[in-house]
Amino acid sequence: MTLLNLIPLRARARPEPASADDRSIMLMVVLLLGLVFVPIIGLHVAAVAFDLEAAASPPDNLAHHVIPPAKPTRG
């Protein structure tokens, strides 16, 4: 089955029902898309529900704001 089989190029007099193969392919596509997008949506919902930004450390405590110790000079 190719993409050209899914898109009718001309009008048909009577639409034929989808075959079992077409339905099973669409079911697999929907399931695979669900495996990708459901965890992402769930993480966003959990972040909003538990307010994860409040649990993050304030910017003053982040490592990139700390001044590294001075290196000893030679001599």
Low-confidence ranges of the chain (pLDDT < 50): none
Q: How far is CA 42 from CA 29, 32, 47, 50, 61, in A?
A: 20, 16, 9, 12, 29
What's this model's pTM, rounded to 2 decimal places? 0.42
Structure tokens of 56? Answer: 């993050």
pLDDT in tens, 48-66: 888 766 555 555 555 666 6
CB of 3 closer than 8 Å to CB of 25: no
Burial (CB < 10 A; 0-12, 13-18, 19+), residue 25, is middle
Q: Which amino acid is at 43?
A: L
